[in-house]
């Protein structure tokens, strides 16, 4: 350990990953669709940073907005004071969101946004005189954050193992369309049948105890799990029938990743609450938001006044003026460059080209939606080994992507050209063919 380079003994990125500590891969700069290492070698960004940067890196407009705002007013607490940028951004987001979601609470990270959505759900039911509704349903193999509530909500058992069970009352639906169990795509009844796993949990725990059902429309970071037709519709139907709030965690799906502003619009299913983060500022400044309807907002806020039990929310950084400036400049880029439409137009080419890799012996499954896709590799030995080996090899060959277990996840910036897709596929083809 003493020989660890670059002081990584002092700074532990994410988990203390031994491989990273022994040989950290350092990016030195980034521009448009590339990262660069210290020697100036270009590395194509196949995952938009970490699903954060659809408009590409180093955007002048965002940098300028951040710089101007820092000089104009660097901080303003959101509790008793406000600034115009937070109202302007809320209005801008309301314009992108599906009706009737038109109010936003600001937070700092995706995990904070999910935690806030959970608080809003509980407060909403309490205000409606249903205080027993405090449980949450999410899904196996889901990821919703790394704070305690996000870790509890996530369906990643390994992530929870070190912490016991400090946030109780979370139960998980089966994620039954994993490739090994997948049924025929496109059959309307199949998705609905799979969603009936929610019914199983309702029967087991009682609808009167459940506050919300939280799902990521396309589960992104856990392997790009695309819901079968009818699945999200059926969840909506069941939640409505049983008085359970439906929360879409759109921390990855939001801002054009699935072809529309939000996946709610791509799938034509409107949840009660949407969480968003990452691409809200094109990844430039930490920020997140939670969108709710007028009805939920009024219920939660008015009850605070009526009951004298205040809805407690707010972080020092909620609606930070610099983050708002970055987010507004980002939304301008998305609109001016019609980036969501651009991603929607590129998606068929991206997905078709990916499917040309299906004949390689290492490939077990390819799936995707919009501008996010996963290539699952046949596991070999310890699960996850080959995914990480592939990721490492591709970094050396000049492609940055995210790997989870044995799945390589691709979520390129929406500024990608067809030539970038071709280059990415070429690198993937060579790397998959070389995988032993
Ligand atoms: N929800 C989803 C769906 C995510 O993908 C993530 C992060 N990858 C989070 C929540 C947590 O976001 P953050 O890391 O910004 O806290």
Distance 110 CA to ligand 1 centre (A): 4
Nearest alpha-carbon partner for 245 in 211, 215, 209, 292: 211
Of residues 64 and 163, more confidence is placed in 64
Distance 173 CA to ligand 1 centre (A): 19
* Mean pLDDT of the 256-261 span: 98
Q: How many residues does the chain have?
A: 436
If one residue of 47, 116, 118, 252 were mutated to test the ligand 1 pocket, choosing by the most ligand atoms within 8 A of its CB, it would be 252
Asked if 144 and 109 count as a contact pair (C-beta separation under 8 A), the reply is: no
Using CA atoms, how far residue 123 sits from 192, 195, 208, in Å, is: 29, 26, 14
Q: Is the pLDDT assigned to residue 99 strictly greater than 80?
A: yes
* Mean pLDDT of the 228-251 span: 95
pLDDT score at 156: 85
**Any atom of ligand 1 within 6 Å of the Cβ of 372:** no
pTM of structure: 0.94
Which region among 26-35, 246-255, 383-392 has the lowest average model confidence (pLDDT)? 383-392
The C-alpha angle with vertex 377 and arms to 371 and 379, in degrees rounded to 5, equals: 145
If one residue of 139, 143, 247, 274 were mutated to test the ligand 1 pocket, choosing by the most ligand atoms within 8 A of its CB, it would be 143
User: How far apart (Å, rounded) are the C-alpha atoms in residues 96 and 92?
Assistant: 7
Q: How confident is the model at residue 418 (pLDDT cuts 50, 70, 90)?
A: very high
Q: Which atom of ligand 1 lies closest to the CA of 109?
A: 15
Cα maximum dimension of the chain: 66
Q: Is 199 exposed, middle or buried (0-12, 13-18, 19+ CB in 10 A)?
A: middle
Nearest alpha-carbon partner for 278 in 51, 122, 98, 77: 51
pLDDT score at 387: 83
Q: Which domains are delineated in the chain? A: 5-55+338-434 (3.90.1150.10), 63-336 (3.40.640.10)
User: How far apart (Å, rounded) are the C-alpha atoms in residues 53 and 371?
Assistant: 13
Q: Is the pLDDT assigned to residue 374 strictly greater than 90?
A: yes
Encode pLDDT of 176-201 as tens digits: 666 554 544 444 457 777 888 999 99
Give the CA count within 13 Å in the CB-facing half-sphere of 411.
Answer: 32
pLDDT score at 123: 95
Does the complex come out with an ipTM higher than 0.95?
Answer: yes
pLDDT score at 179: 59
User: How far apart (Å, rounded) are the C-alpha atoms in residues 342 and 275?
Assistant: 23
Residue with the two structure tokens 């955007």: 59
pLDDT score at 25: 76
Contacts within 8 Å (CB) and 24+ apart, 389-398: 389/435, 390/431, 390/432, 390/435, 392/19, 393/431, 393/434, 393/435, 394/46, 394/427, 394/428, 394/431, 395/25, 395/43, 397/427, 397/430, 397/431, 398/41, 398/42, 398/43, 398/44, 398/427
Q: Is 179 exposed, middle or buried (0-12, 13-18, 19+ CB in 10 A)?
A: middle
Encode pLDDT of 375-408 as tens digits: 999 877 666 678 888 998 999 999 999 998 889 9
Q: Is the pLDDT assigned to residue 36 strictly greater than 90?
A: yes
User: Which residues are within 8 A (CB) of 285 and not within 5 positions of it... i.e. 6 or more apart?
Assistant: 66, 320, 322, 323, 326, 327
Percentage of the chain modeled with pLDDT above 90 = 74
Which 3 state secondary structure label does DSSP give 325? Answer: helix
Residue nearest (by alpha carbon) to ligand 1 atom 10: 144
Distance 113 CA to ligand 1 centre (A): 9
Percentage of the chain modeled with pLDDT above 70 = 89
Q: Which atom of ligand 1 lies closest to the CA of 220?
A: 5
Q: Is the pLDDT assigned to residue 29 strictly greater than 60?
A: yes
Q: How confident is the model at residue 1 (pLDDT cuts 50, 70, 90)?
A: very low
Of residues 40 and 309, more confidence is placed in 40
Asked if 135 and 206 count as a contact pair (C-beta separation under 8 A), the reply is: no
Instruction: Give the pair of three-digit tokens for residue 9.
Output: 């003994």
pLDDT score at 15: 62
* Mean pLDDT of the 56-69 span: 98
**Any atom of ligand 1 within 6 Å of the Cβ of 252:** yes
pLDDT score at 385: 73
Question: If you average pLDDT over every residue of the chain, what do you get?
Answer: 90
Q: Is the pLDDT assigned to residue 22 strictly greater than 60?
A: yes
User: How far apart (Å, rounded) are the C-alpha atoms in residues 350 and 286?
Assistant: 29
């Amino acid at each position: 350990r003493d020989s660890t380079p670059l002081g990584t003994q002092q700074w532990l990125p994410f988990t203390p990953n031994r491989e990273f500590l022994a040989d950290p891969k350092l990016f030195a700069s980034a521009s448009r669709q590339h990262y660069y290492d210290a020697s100036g070698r270009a590395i194509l960004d196949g995952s938009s940073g970490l699903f954060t940067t659809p408009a590409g890196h180093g955007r002048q407009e965002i940098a300028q907005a951040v710089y101007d705002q820092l000089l104009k007013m660097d901080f303003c607490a959101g509790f008793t004071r406000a600034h115009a940028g937070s109202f302007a951004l809320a209005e801008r987001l309301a314009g992108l969101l599906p009706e009737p979601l038109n109010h936003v609470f600001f937070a700092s990270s995706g995990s904070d946004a999910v935690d806030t959505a959970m608080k809003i759900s509980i407060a909403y039911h309490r205000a409606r005189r249903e205080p027993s509704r405090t449980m949450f349903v999410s899904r196996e193999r889901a990821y919703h954050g790394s704070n305690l509530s996000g870790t509890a909500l996530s369906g990643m058992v390994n992530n929870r193992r070190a912490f016991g069970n400090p946030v109780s009352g979370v139960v998980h639906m089966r994620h039954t369309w994993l490739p090994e169990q997948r049924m025929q795509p496109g059959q309307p009844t199949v998705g609905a049948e799979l969603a009936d796993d929610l019914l199983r949990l309702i029967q087991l725990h009682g609808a009167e105890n459940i506050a919300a059902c939280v799902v990521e429309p396309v589960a992104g970071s856990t392997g790009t799990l695309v819901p079968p037709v009818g699945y999200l519709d059926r969840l909506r139907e069941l939640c409505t029938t049983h008085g359970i709030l439906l929360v879409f965690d759109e921390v990855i799906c939001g801002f054009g990743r699935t072809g529309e502003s939000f996946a709610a619009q791509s799938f034509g299913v409107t949840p009660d609450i949407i969480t968003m983060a990452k691409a809200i500022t094109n990844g430039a400044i930490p920020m997140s938001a939670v969108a709710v309807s007028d009805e939920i907002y009024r219920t939660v806020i008015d009850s605070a006044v009526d009951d004298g039990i205040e809805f407690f929310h707010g972080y020092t950084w909620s609606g930070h003026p610099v983050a708002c400036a970055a987010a507004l400049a980002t939304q301008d880029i998305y609109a001016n460059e019609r980036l969501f439409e651009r991603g929607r137009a590129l998606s068929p080419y991206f997905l078709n080209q990916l499917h040309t890799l299906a004949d390689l012996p290492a490939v077990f499954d390819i799936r995707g939606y919009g501008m996010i896709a996963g290539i699952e590799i046949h596991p070999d030995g310890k699960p996850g080994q080959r995914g990480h080996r592939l990721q490492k090899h591709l970094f050396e060959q000049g492609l940055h992507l995210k790997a989870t277990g044995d799945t390589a996840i691709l979520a390129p910036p929406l500024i990608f050209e067809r030539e970038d897709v071709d280059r990415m596929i070429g690198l993937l083809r060579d790397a998959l063919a070389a995988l032993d």
